[in-house]
Amino acid sequence: MPDTNSHIDEDNLREAGLLEVFLQEQDRLKRIIAGMGMGAWDAEDILQDVSIKALKNNDRCKERGKALGWLIKVTVNRCITEHRRRKSFAAKALELLDRKRRGSKGVLGPDENAVCSEEKTLLHTTLLELDRKVLMTLVLRYFCDMNASEISEILNITPSAVRNRISRGREVLAKKLAKRGVRP
Amino acid sequence: MKQIECKEIADLLVDYSDGQLPEEQSQIVERHLKKCNNCRKYLGDLQQSLNIVQEIWRENLAEIESVEISVPVKNRRNINRKYAAIAAGLLIAAGIFSVSMQQTLQRPGDVMTAEQVERKISESASAVRLLATADLLREYDGVKDTLNKLYKHIVATYPDTSAAMEAKIRIKSLM
Ligand SMILES: [Zn+2]
């Protein structure tokens, strides 16, 4: 049973069904979904699935903290599956578009905004190409503010494996950005 | 000699920028940064790339902020049946998904933004998934009203998808 140390306080030891916790904590789950690059329609599907699972297992976790850990874990797994399903062609599509856009625009002007949005597109594409487990680890760390030991419990890996993934992910992103000035 | 040092420092920079390094190592990094342009530049890229990525995530979040699922706790009995339908819907959606993506890409001369592509993928997948879910519900009694609503929802929400065209046909067949 997953457990998050981060939120253990009195409130988390109170008894609560999974569904009740789901209804209160949707915003937290949304950050995971948004971080994994899912749009509104996907978010609806994923949250719906998680809610149904919560309903089916409603009495499974007695403590609030454990219930939240369970919900995060289900959401994480659901996002990873969904991501695998869309990743290959989404990444290919973006790569194609990126090339097309560069071709149509030619060399970028000195406009700072254009450069900035170029960087954003570059990183957007990079996020799509990133190993989904690395991406999930980055999302939990830098968008859900969880620490390595909390993440290790959600993902069932050691804290040092978590740190490893974080370093690898950050490196990929930074190096993409470092190459931004270089045009083929 | 100098390059080996940079490599060692680079390995520490993620933890350094996260404030996770012990004091002693932090000072070693800082001393190196003072004299090394390359590592300073790399640290800047680490920080800036994270800032931009967080901005992308925040934008994504803003887009899904309004999604809210409320669960009718009373209908517990129907849940297993509904779940089976949704699960089957997902499988079907996976098959048709790739076809709609290819159509999106083959339109000549079109330059879509990354966001448009993302949305297009999500929309057509969701529409197909909803349609498949609705079709599975058809086998049950007393769902005609629900079906009608669901098909109309697909037509209204995802007007440009092939699923919407299918839904129109289904609405007619319900009448
Ligand atoms: Zn250096």
Residue B175 has pLDDT above 50, yes or no: yes
Q: Is there a domain that residue A45 lies in?
A: yes
Residue B52 has pLDDT above 50, yes or no: yes
Pick A11 or B38 by higher pLDDT. Answer: B38
| Contacts with A166 from chain B: Cβ below 8 Å | 14
Nearest CA in chain B to A50: B69
- What's the whole-number mean pLDDT along residues B138-155? 75
Measure the CA–CA gap between A77 and A79, rounded to whole angstroms.
5
Residue with tokens 């083929």: A184
Q: Is there a domain that residue A59 lies in?
A: yes
Lowest mean pLDDT among A157-171, B85-99, B142-156: B85-99
CATH number of the domain encompassing residue A55: 1.10.1740
Lowest mean pLDDT among A168-172, B141-145, B161-165: B141-145
Q: What is the dihedral of CA B15, A161, A95, A37, to 10 degrees?
A: -90
Pick B97 or A123 by higher pLDDT. Answer: A123
Measure the CA–CA gap between A153 and B102, rounded to whole angstroms.
39
Residue A59, domain extent:
9-85
For residues A34 and A142, the answer to whether their CB atoms sit within 8 Å is no
Reduce the DSSP state of residue B21 to 3 states and report it.
coil
- What's the whole-number mean pLDDT along residues B23-27? 94
- φ and ψ of B46, to 5 deg: -60, -45
Measure the CA–CA gap between A167 and A160, rounded to whole angstroms.
11
Q: Which residues contact A33 (CB under 8 A, 6 or more apart)?
A: A42, A43, A46, A47, A75, A79, B64
Closest Cβ opposite residue B69 in set A26, A98, A104: A26
Domain map of chain B by residue range?
A: 2-64, 76-174
Domain total for chain A?
Answer: 1
State the pLDDT at residue B102.
38
Are the Cβ atoms of A173 and B50 closer than 8 angstroms? yes
Give A139 to chain B, closest Cα distance, Å.
Answer: 9
Range with top average pLDDT, A77-86, B150-159, B162-171: B162-171
State the pLDDT at residue B90.
45
- Write out the two tokens for B21: 């390094």
Lowest mean pLDDT among A14-23, A98-107, A114-123, B91-100: B91-100
State the pLDDT at residue B38.
92
Q: Is there a domain that residue A57 lies in?
A: yes
Lowest mean pLDDT among A12-16, A71-75, A160-164, B170-174: A12-16
Q: Is there a domain that residue A176 lies in?
A: no
Q: Is there a domain that residue A54 lies in?
A: yes
Confidence band of B61 (pLDDT split at 50, 70, 90): very high
Measure the CA–CA gap between A60 and A73, rounded to whole angstroms.
14
- Of B92, B91, B119, B89, the C-alpha closest to B104 is B119
Are the Cβ atoms of B73 and A35 closer than 8 angstroms? no
Residue with tokens 């002693």: B24
Q: Is there a domain that residue A103 lies in?
A: no
Give B98 to chain A, closest Cα distance, Å.
Answer: 8
- What's the whole-number mean pLDDT along residues A112-137? 82
Residue B32 has pLDDT above 80, yes or no: yes
Can you give the pTM of this predicted structure? 0.63
State the pLDDT at residue A107.
45
- What's the whole-number mean pLDDT along residues B20-26? 93
